[in-house]
Chains A and B, each alone.
Chain A
């Protein structure tokens, strides 16, 4: 009982010391908030469909189908058609302005289609553009597919009409069939694709996807400061003074663990609170589930800080090694981009990190609308992770300077 009281006094002292350290609060709160805001606002337009890819195009076609194709592409979601000359399309440049993709519709485009003949669209791409290219080519390919369907239907129509009415003029039949098919181009396609968000939270925003990842990363940076604080106490002799007082080592480390844990809880709560109340971030359908995830994540991150302090010799090492590990864990664990876009082996590797388990649970709650019972496995893994870190840290930590 006495040791518990001492543990609590050490906790209160650490909270007091931390409370007076404004620099730490900047790292714990202002920096993550600033980065979450920048990332959310920067990526938000693309995420919300407000950011459109520009397609430079020239329509050399004298007929109606080329214009219908341009109009169809211009109204497509996420795409904006800019008209240029053939030369501009070939160079992907209009004056100083550069484009990544261009489209040239040939002069005989409509007449070829109207007669059911083969034709082609010329597309120029910037070979360095790996981000937009699949989307742009997909859009043009989609339009080309619909036109190919149209040509096919014209050919079938001509062949069927001639079979039953040999006196019919094939060119006239083809032209009529093509015009009829072309009128279908601007309407809804016969086979539509409907896309829905999986889960129950339909209207997620950029903060929902950015805030948890960056919050976990800065939680880890916060506990790194805690690890440095522990080493500073050892270097400056305050830890030594506690060791010659009747205070158990478990109370010393336990007190510091509890203090850091409470700071981490406050940090996560404030980050999520600001995200929710100021930027409209969703908290999912299970507040108890989110509280559980925040608790276990804060505990595990704190225990990781104790482990970090136990494996380094100096504060400088704690800073450099800690920063390296946290950046690696954040990249691997999905704090910067979704784990799902990584290869399988990277996803498996990513689940060695605190970030991956924490984000699995938080994303399940916030984005997919899961419940408390759904995220118990992730919470359990994180708790076990934290216990191992603390016990190993307690075993390895050198209370005295060498």
Chain B
């Protein structure tokens, strides 16, 4: 059952459309991933869902509450972990958490207990009285995440929570996210690292230039490229044979053919089996191969396939 439903969300700044009609649903208990390059509109979408920015049009409903009309109530059930380290550097880890807890009317023993739980969750309980400014980047990220969880939010929005952290801290953050998911919290996770989204997310939406260009489970998304891999060919001379593509498409296991940057991307059920007949077709038609690559489908390749550019551009 969906906890979150976004319906045609649009955010415009004068001439610029940062988010252009994005719609999706997030099921309860799911980790929903937003993947896209910087500037794709991921953070703006999170800002609208978190009530930080009002949508120019469209709406989103979280647990039955509209972000445009019931923002105050929405704020009580969501937790936000912003991309910035939104902490007070001269205060200690515990002082930061207590302050943010009090913003949600928490106090007394409940707040003390919750702070301890979260500091133990992010494994910083023994550093609770250290100033945040003395922490490493990874430790700050973990406290930043804990601050968004104090009030037991039903829906947690994580905006690129691993930016600038070392691999060890990243692993630690991943473990924490799984623990949060296991406690029943629904999570929206944005990243421009495909490995993170592949590892963490149950459902993935790919964004580019303010639009959602694809969505589905990892398996569903990668099947677009062919379950058995992709044969990438650069052929000389270009257009060497008019009926080449039709001839390749008719070979055993080939599921689709696409063009990208002068290359042919041949998806198949089993690229190892499909390769010999494809090469035979090329030989028969008098074409030569300048470049040949066989790869297993991944989100990076899918993004290139969908947008014609690399994810990190």
Instruction: Using CB atoms and an 8 Å cutoff, list the residues of chain A in contact with chain B.
Output: 2, 5-6, 9, 13, 16-17, 20-21, 236-238, 240-247, 400
Contacts and interface: CB of A to CB of B under 8 A. Distances in A.
A247 B85 contact: no
Contacts of B51: 243-244
Contacts of A6: 102-103, 105
B295 interface: no
17 contacts: A6-B105, A9-B99, A9-B102, A236-B86, A240-B52, A240-B82, A240-B86, A242-B103, A243-B51, A244-B50, A244-B51, A244-B52, A244-B78, A244-B80, A245-B75, A246-B72, A400-B53
Nearest to B13: A402
Most-contacted residue by chain A among B52, B53, B72, B103 (CB, 10 A): B103
Given A16-B95, A246-B76, A237 B103 contact: no
B84 interface: yes
Given A20-B91, A241-B80, 13 more contacts: A5-B102, A9-B103, A13-B99, A236-B84, A237-B82, A237-B84, A240-B52, A243-B51, A244-B52, A245-B100, A245-B103, A246-B76, A246-B104
A13 B87 CA distance: 12
Range of interface residues on B (Cβ < 8 Å): 20 to 34
A6 B72 CA distance: 14
A208 to B, nearest CB: 38
- A interface: dominant SS: helix
Interface of B: 50-53, 72, 75-76, 78, 80, 82-88, 90-91, 95, 99-100, 102-105, 147
Contacts of A243: 51-52
B135 to A, nearest CB: 15
Contacts of A20: 90-91
A226 to B, nearest CB: 15
Contact of B147 (A5, A16, A241, A400): A241
Given A245-B104, A246-B75, A237 B90 contact: no
B86 A16 contact: no
Contacts of A16: 91, 95
Contacts of A237: 82-86
Contacts of B50: 244
Contact of A241 (B86, B102, B105): B86
Contact of B52 (A13, A238, A400): A400
Contact of B88 (A17, A240, A245, A400): A17
A84 B3 CA distance: 99
Most-contacted residue by chain B among A16, A236, A244 (CB, 10 A): A244
B266 to A, nearest CB: 46
A241 B80 CA distance: 7
B95 A241 contact: no
A2 B105 contact: yes
Contacts of B88: 13, 17, 238
A238 B83 CA distance: 11
Nearest to A252: B103
A254 to B, nearest CB: 14
B90 A21 contact: yes
Nearest to B87: A238
Contacts of A238: 86-88
A17 B105 CA distance: 21
B78 A241 contact: no
Contacts of B84: 236-237, 240
A372 B214 CA distance: 73
Contacts of B100: 241, 245
A134 B147 CA distance: 69
Contacts of B147: 241
Nearest to A18: B90
A20 B52 CA distance: 30
A17 B103 CA distance: 17
Given A16-B91, A17-B90, A21-B90, A236 B85 contact: yes
Contacts of A240: 52, 82, 84, 86
A129 B210 CA distance: 72
A242 B87 CA distance: 11
Nearest to A241: B86
